[in-house]
Structure 1
Amino acid sequence: MKNPILKGALATIMITMVTFACKDKFLEVPATGQLSSTQLTSKAGLDGLLLSAYAQLNGRGYDQSAASLDWVRGSISAGEANKGSNSGDFNALTPFQNYPSMNATNAEINFKWRSLYEGISRANMVLRVMTTAASDVTTADKQRITAEARFLRGHYYFQLRRQFNMVPYVDETVDYGTGVDKVPNNVDIWPKIEADFQFAQTNLPATQDALGRANSWAAAAYLAKTYLYEKKYAEAKALFDKVIASGTTTGGVKYALVDNYTDIFNAAKETNSESIFADQAAANTGSSDNANPELNLNFPYNTGSAGPAGCCGFFVPSFELANSFRVSTNGLPLLDGSYNSSTNQLVTDMGLASSAPFTPDAGPVDPRLDWSVGRRGIPYLDWSVHPGQDWIRDQTFAGPYSPKKFVFYKSQDKSLTDGSSWTDGYSAINYNFIRFADVLLMAAECEVEVGSLATALNYVNMVRNRAANATYWVKTTTGANAANYSIKPYTSFADQATARTAIQFERKLELSGEGHRFYDLVRWGTAATAINAFLAYESPKLPVGYAGAKFTTGRDEYLPIPQTQIDYQATDASGKNILAQNPGY
């Protein structure tokens, strides 16, 4: 998985045989750059095709909005972060944070669409070629490769479904040359996604011998997540129960929380018990494409030797997100939203030169704040103390913070980052599509709806107790805590409503900046309320980037179908577009 051996649009490979009039065999040379049918149908060929489907997890070959870490739609659109940099740089991303200016001609949504359908195309190619598999492909090989391909296809369609809602479903039986042009988006594809993950769960092994390959546990977790999105809580709970109990049955692998929260995002330690399914990245393999290429803009700006990469100041944690880590005197979150009040909001260096005196906020905060948000006066991994404004391209547009979670350590520069391109920002940091803390919190949701409030409480407190391990809190050079950290477990959930609020907020804290929150808000039905409240608070602080910002119910839950795709699919015999546009666009 670290070095995918086949890349490119495999769906467009032409299998040809070149034959000359001459009978001399030595003159029969295969066409350069093309694969014969024998090569493709062998075990090695099928595994190569499968690896190419894995390679597309990262969104390679497209743009930042196509990244595996869905930071543009999943986080920026949710208010966890703003676009950052300045108003003129990559302003195609600005509509993702202010909504009304988003339209069907935005190139970024077409990049996302194309990237995901490219992944589907590659998975379908595996399944199509499998029907003529060579004799060296055993029954066990067929079962595993087919199950992995269907798992990946399920993943790509899951991403499409939650981004665009109604999308055309194309499987391996469709002729890509003509058939895909005639597939409408008038059928809900959740059942198809379920079927792929169900097949994968049944047919994948519990463990794999290659790092990064999906196993039956990953399929179970993803199927459960699919059920959760459909509000099939009982079905989801049954599968989450099995994943949480993994390792207690024959052939299991024990998934569990790692002790140190930051190990999840540390390229040297990220292959651990918390990772259930991840996009694998590797540095210094001869191509930066094998690294994590879609996050290379998301580093503090102009850091020089004191900080990482030096470019480009995008994906900046919001004021509102940072404030959310404020806790009360009992170490619990301020679930009533008062973290944004004038008395509770964090003290920042907004508008303050790095040369001017500044004292970081002294109030109590959840320790996950300084694992997730770079802020002035606090150590920034092993680089230096964050200097504030000097690392921000334009505070009036981006705010005072820097991204921190998916940033490499100074001690890893040039070894776990790829120096073959224009920036060291191509790192070996994986992105977890599903990790164990995510599973615990999704399972807690299901327990609230169809299970036990006590079990939900236990799952939430498992996540909180991990964060409460003071051994791993951010420290100064003297070994003291870098801030006034405080976190305690909940003692009880009084009722379902209280439990829902606590779990939803815990997902905000634990998974911040990991691309989940926007989709959580939509599936909870709280997107309009939460996002418009965020905009009311954030807009006055960053008025240029949030000019005219407003979330509109019935429109902004989903992206528009790219106009390029509507035009490409053309019309049916009656003159009606094959692809129907989403409401409001």
Structure 2
Amino acid sequence: MKNLYKYIFAAMLTLGTTTSCSDFLDESPKGVIDKDKAFSRPDQMVTSAYAMLGDCWYSYPFNLWPYGDLASDDCLKGGSGTTDTGYHPMEIWSTMTSTPGEFDELWYRLFCAVSRCNRALLSLEQYGNDKLGEETCKQRVAEVKFLRAHFYYKLITMFRQVPWIDENVTANNLQEQTRNDEFTYEELFGKIINDFKEAYDVLPDVQTDKNRVNKIAAASYLAKCYLTLAYGDGYEATNGYDHINKEYMQKVVEYTKVVKDDPNYGYLEDYGDIFLPEEKNSKESIFAVQTSDYKEDNTTYGRANWSNMLNGVWGMWSCGWDFHKPSQDLVNAFKTKNGLPEFDDYNKTIDYPINGSPNAQKWDPRLFHTVGMPTFPYKYEKEYTLTKANSRTPNTYGYYCSMKEVPQRSKGETYDGSWQAFAMNDYVFRYTDVMLMRAEALIETDNLSEARTIINDIRQRAKNSVDKHIAYAENQCEIALYPETYFQDKTTARK
């Protein structure tokens, strides 16, 4: 064995005498963009920052469904059982005592996105005016600051205390020295708000390149930031209605008015259309992560929504992994009595509709657009009627399935193979979302009448969303508008 090492060492010495050491060290790595060349192309650096919006995966979904829907009472994880992925701790609220890799992956990928934004800003600072012109450069800086704030909003939502790494930290290579307790929760939010405000002040209402962020998206995010801060610092003891900051609530009213007054956005006429791929960039969509089918963009695989790749229905798609299962609590919440929600009593009994068998229990029509249930058509198509066989582990996760994040089955398989995904946009802000934020803030600033108008407009749209897609459930639907008596005081209006 010693002799073998001698021969290998001798061969290495011989190689060293016949090959220039400097040539070997100076060889550019393959498949990697040269740093200086990349930085000298500011518009491409901005594009690389945009690309991070959809750079998600089922184990680090940027739409955060495992940490929102799953951690609340809206859904169950699904899949083959409790050990399928590391998300089970989220649904049983044991995340403080477990260390799932999903948390680490999400942290890493979101900071990769922040890094792309910072590098794009440095490129714009150095080359932007010369290569793009002063006005375009100014707009691109605003776009990238919007993107950075978008990713930081997710970070602060998930992790609360995070290190603020901006372009100055990146330029000076101080990432490892930047602490996560340098700024308070409120100060971090202030930095996020500043980025969105810079974007808001510069960006146009409508972009020539349609898929770039604009002023209306920035206004929507500013409203959301102020609405989050308006309730307190996020800790249970110092958060909620007793800690309302009316100045912040007024900011929500102001920024949502910008959205409300813009003629390019509004309620899509039928609620069901919002969640069909052909309507994914309708007037309802203010800011959405764009996806594509390979047949649309002429690439090999397209740009899928990898956040939702596990959420197809079992037995309906070739790779329906049956995650994101609506809960019974969510279904019960759609109950109505005389067309109005059963605020206090909805969960006293377990109920569910059966296709063709109406009874005294009536439902908000949005149930049939949201939750797939046995005996009902899957995404409105009778030839694909759901049965109990369309649940992978019913004894653990029940028989419901989620419909909003998937296309209709008749449109064919979007991506073939064991890792099927769908070309469904991920909405960040819909017009309806922003108007509900406005209604919430109006209630807290004592304008109950306008809040009622907004909420009733949305309910009227739901009432009108029966005939086109869910006529088979018409005799099980009942929804009414709120009378004035429901908006005489804040407590009832909040419900």
Range class of TM-score, shorter chain:
0.7 to 0.9
Task: Report the residue type matching 1:434 in the other structure.
Answer: F
Alpha-carbon shift at residue 68 of structure 1 (Å):
3.0
Question: Which structure has the bigger radius of gyration?
Answer: 2
* Aligned equivalent of 2:240: none
* Aligned equivalent of 1:168: 163
State percent identity of aligned pairs.
Answer: 28
Alpha-carbon shift at residue 209 of structure 1 (Å):
2.5
Report 1:112-131 matches (<5 A). 112-131=106-125
Report 1:64-143 matches (<5 A). 64-103=58-97, 105-133=99-127, 135-143=130-138
* Aligned equivalent of 1:50: 46
Report 1:456-471 matches (<5 A). 456-471=451-466
* Aligned equivalent of 2:376: 378
Matched, 1:442 2:437: yes
* Aligned equivalent of 1:333: 341
* Aligned equivalent of 1:561: none
Q: 2:306 aligns with which of 283, 289, 293?
A: 293
Report 1:326-405 matches (<5 A). 326-328=335-337, 330-336=338-344, 338-342=345-349, 345-347=350-352, 359=357, 363-381=361-379, 382=381, 384-405=383-404
Alpha-carbon shift at residue 87 of structure 1 (Å):
2.1
- What's the secondary structure of 1:433's corresponding residue? strand
Q: 1:308 aligns with which of 307, 317, 338?
A: 317
Alpha-carbon shift at residue 201 of structure 1 (Å):
0.3
Q: TM-score, normalised by structure 2?
A: 0.84
* Aligned equivalent of 1:185: 180
* Aligned equivalent of 1:322: 331
* Aligned equivalent of 1:550: none
Cα deviations across residues 10-37 of structure 1 (Å, max 9, x unaligned)? xxxxxxxxx9999xxxxx9976434456
Report 1:267-278 matches (<5 A). 267-278=277-288
CA distance in 2, matches of 1:41, 1:56: 17
Aligned CA-pair RMSD: 2.6
- What's the secondary structure of 1:327's corresponding residue? strand
Alpha-carbon shift at residue 108 of structure 1 (Å):
0.9
The answer to whether the 8 Å contact 2:156/2:162 transfers is yes
CA distance in 2, matches of 1:322, 1:46: 49
* Structure 1 residues 321 and 21, CA gap change in structure 2 (3 angstroms): closer
* Aligned equivalent of 2:235: none
The answer to whether the 8 Å contact 1:246/1:255 transfers is yes
Matched, 1:203 2:180: no
Alpha-carbon shift at residue 347 of structure 1 (Å):
3.3
- Select between 74-83 and 259-268 the one with higher mean Cα deviation: 259-268
Alpha-carbon shift at residue 334 of structure 1 (Å):
0.7
Alpha-carbon shift at residue 104 of structure 1 (Å):
5.6
* Aligned equivalent of 1:194: 193
* Aligned equivalent of 1:235: 251
CA distance in 1, matches of 2:87, 2:159: 17
Between Structure 1 and Structure 2, which shows a larger proportion of helix residues?
2
Task: Report the residue type matching 2:333 in the other structure.
Answer: S
The answer to whether the 8 Å contact 2:284/2:432 transfers is yes
- What's the secondary structure of 1:167's corresponding residue? coil
Cα deviations across residues 317-364 of structure 1 (Å, max 9, x unaligned)? 000000110100x2011111x11112xx32379xxxxxxx99576621
* Structure 1 residues 157 and 326, CA gap change in structure 2 (3 angstroms): same
Task: Report the residue type matching 1:255 in the other structure.
Answer: Y
The answer to whether the 8 Å contact 2:149/2:192 transfers is yes
Alpha-carbon shift at residue 178 of structure 1 (Å):
4.7
CA distance in 1, matches of 2:82, 2:253: 46
* Aligned equivalent of 1:264: 274
* Structure 1 residues 470 and 91, CA gap change in structure 2 (3 angstroms): closer
CA distance in 2, matches of 1:180, 1:106: 24
* Structure 1 residues 74 and 450, CA gap change in structure 2 (3 angstroms): same
* Aligned equivalent of 1:282: 292
- What's the secondary structure of 2:325's corresponding residue? strand
* Aligned equivalent of 1:148: 143
Aligned length: 446
* Structure 1 residues 386 and 176, CA gap change in structure 2 (3 angstroms): farther
* Structure 1 residues 472 and 210, CA gap change in structure 2 (3 angstroms): farther
- What's the secondary structure of 2:375's corresponding residue? coil
* Structure 1 residues 491 and 182, CA gap change in structure 2 (3 angstroms): same
The answer to whether the 8 Å contact 1:368/1:467 transfers is yes
The answer to whether the 8 Å contact 1:308/1:410 transfers is yes
Cα deviations across residues 288-325 of structure 1 (Å, max 9, x unaligned)? 46111221211221x2xxx3344211110000000110
* Structure 1 residues 210 and 68, CA gap change in structure 2 (3 angstroms): farther
The answer to whether the 8 Å contact 1:373/1:401 transfers is yes
CA distance in 1, matches of 2:494, 2:329: 20
Task: Report the residue type matching 1:201 in the other structure.
Answer: Y
- What's the secondary structure of 2:255's corresponding residue? helix
CA distance in 1, matches of 2:472, 2:353: 21
CA distance in 2, matches of 1:130, 1:480: 55
CA distance in 2, matches of 1:54, 1:447: 34
* Aligned equivalent of 1:538: none
Cα deviations across residues 405-431 of structure 1 (Å, max 9, x unaligned)? 1111123224xx233x434x4211101
Task: Report the residue type matching 1:233 in the other structure.
Answer: M
CA distance in 2, matches of 1:274, 1:229: 22
The answer to whether the 8 Å contact 1:331/1:486 transfers is yes
Cα deviations across residues 435-463 of structure 1 (Å, max 9, x unaligned)? 11000110001101114100110111111
CA distance in 1, matches of 2:446, 2:262: 19
* Aligned equivalent of 2:482: 490
The answer to whether the 8 Å contact 1:227/1:236 transfers is yes
Q: Which runs of 5+ in 2 are unaligned?
A: 1-19, 231-247
Cα deviations across residues 179-215 of structure 1 (Å, max 9, x unaligned)? 1111111113011001000000011121112333110
The answer to whether the 8 Å contact 2:272/2:469 transfers is no
* Structure 1 residues 384 and 205, CA gap change in structure 2 (3 angstroms): same
Matched, 1:418 2:415: yes
Task: Report the residue type matching 1:206 in the other structure.
Answer: D
Q: TM-score, normalised by structure 1?
A: 0.72
The answer to whether the 8 Å contact 1:224/1:235 transfers is yes
The answer to whether the 8 Å contact 1:85/1:397 transfers is no
* Structure 1 residues 82 and 473, CA gap change in structure 2 (3 angstroms): farther
CA distance in 2, matches of 1:227, 1:473: 37
Task: Report the residue type matching 1:486 in the other structure.
Answer: E
Cα deviations across residues 263-301 of structure 1 (Å, max 9, x unaligned)? 221111111111111000011143546111221211221
* Aligned equivalent of 1:569: none
Q: Which runs of 5+ in 1 are unaligned?
A: 1-18, 23-27, 248-253, 350-356, 502-585
CA distance in 2, matches of 1:21, 1:114: 35
* Structure 1 residues 102 and 94, CA gap change in structure 2 (3 angstroms): farther
CA distance in 2, matches of 1:296, 1:141: 36
Greater relative CO (CA pairs within 8 A, separation 6+)? 1
* Structure 1 residues 95 and 88, CA gap change in structure 2 (3 angstroms): closer
Alpha-carbon shift at residue 121 of structure 1 (Å):
0.7
* Structure 1 residues 66 and 34, CA gap change in structure 2 (3 angstroms): closer
